[in-house]
Amino acid sequence: MNKPKSVPGNSTCTRCQAPATLPCVGCQDAPILDPQIHSASYCNISCYEADKDKHEETCKQLQVHKLFYRAGDILQEIFYVYKEKIFLRKILSVKVMENGDVGLTMDNMDNPKQMAMMPTFAELFQKFPGNKCGSRGARKAVLTYNAGSDAVAWMHDMVKYLLDGIAVNIEEISLEPKNHRRQVIDLDPKQEPQEGSFKRYHDIFKVEIKNGEVYALDLAGAQFGYYNPVTPWEEYFTTRVEQITQRDNWEEYQHFGGLKKMHVKESKDLSSIDMFQFSQFAGLNCCASEILEETLWAWLKQHRLTAIEEVLDLPRDTYQIKRKELLKKIGEDLEAFVSRTRVNLAPLRALKAARGCAQQ
């Protein structure tokens, strides 16, 4: 438990109920998940010293909560940046409906025969139509549309690193979701819902943290109107899961890292026009996702930090500043990757190059 530092405030002392200006540095800013368990504040050092042994176990538990929730927050924001910069859908129109649902009209650039004839990646990379989305919620919904598998596959390395020392077990869960607060719907040229556009499958992480609690980590829940990345598992399972599903060849791929392994394999499969489509997207994402970890390590080194936990544990205002700086740098490096890739390589040559990027 770290010694408290004096800050202005209206809280009361955990020990004697006098006005307190010394919040416990260790658990300050931790999310309140149980009204009976909350961070401590003190009126003076004497009360802190008298209470520290009693508070120590609670403080450790709250520190784990703070680190995990902040890790979930920054992972989700990184994924938003990633999807915006590596945007591979050509959206012709965005229609935000009165009930909050979002309708998308897209051209057929994902038709396998059309993709097979593309001379460069320039026609794969698209500008994200953020100016057509209206609200921030709709913007996030479009970014994460049908992107649960992208979140689990291409954020695997970042999740593994950011949760190191916080999580004791991470699983990948495939599911059919329910109770959508909003939906993203495919529209035909007449602005009518396309057949099957309401049926969605989804992928998330199931995380057990080191105090034994279990959570859902859903980086792409915005497409269903859920914007918090971290939810206690029982609550998530009860309110948002219709049924757990199994992947194809689940014995080989139903594990942490399995979806990335599956997509890496797809990136090397040029056996048919259909697989060529998957190969282009998977190969491109294999390379692009590596930018995330490279940028993170370079940014930490630049700021003389040895681990991301040093950022996650910062006071709230400082954390927000560092978080913003990191996200900006990741966005810049992804933009540079797009610029290099779109002018240099035709899809087939790029896919062959991507194989070198996609080593497990």
| Residue 122 confidence (pLDDT) above 70 | no
- 155: which residues sit within 8 A by CB, 6+ positions away? 75, 78, 79, 82, 219, 289, 292
Does 24 score more than 70 pLDDT? yes
Cα separation, 177 vs 241, whole angstroms: 5
Confidence of residue 358 (pLDDT cuts 50, 70, 90): very low
Q: Tell me whether residue 103 is in a domain.
A: yes
What is the pLDDT at residue 35? 74
311 vs 15, more confident? 311
Inside any domain, residue 18 = no
Position with higher pLDDT, 144 vs 51: 144
Look at the chain and report how many structural domains it folds into.
1
pLDDT at 134 over 50: yes
**DSSP tag of 308:** T
Q: Is residue 349 part of a domain?
A: yes
Tell me, what's the pLDDT at 216? 98
pLDDT at 42 over 80: yes
Tell the burial category of 249 from Cβ atoms under 10 Å away from its Cβ (0-12, 13-18, 19+): exposed
Tell me the backbone φ, ψ of residue 174, rounded to 5 degrees.
-100, 135
Indicate whether 51 belongs to any domain. no
Tell me whether residue 60 is in a domain: no
In-domain check, residue 44: no
The band of 220, judged by pLDDT with boundaries at 50, 70 and 90, is: very high
Q: What is the rounded average pLDDT of the residues 191-214? A: 84
Residue 285 or 195, more confident: 285
Q: 29-38, 165-174, 240-249, 270-279: lowest mean pLDDT where?
A: 270-279
Which range has the top average pLDDT, 88-102, 267-281, 344-358?
A: 88-102
* Comparison of pLDDT for 204 and 35, the residue scoring more: 204
* Host domain of residue 160: 70-357
* Domain assignment of residue 172, yes or no: yes
Tell me which long-range contacts 51-56 makes (C-beta under 8 A, separation of at least 24): 51/14, 51/15, 52/1, 55/1, 55/14, 55/24, 56/1
Task: Give the predicted TM-score (pTM) of the model.
Answer: 0.86
Rounded mean pLDDT, 77-82: 98
The total number of residues written for the chain in this structure: 360
Q: Quote the pLDDT of residue 270.
A: 58
pLDDT of residue 192: 78
- 42-51, 150-159, 289-298, range with the lowest pLDDT: 42-51
Both structure tokens of 245:
């599903």
pLDDT band for position 115 (cuts 50, 70, 90): low
100 located within any domain = yes
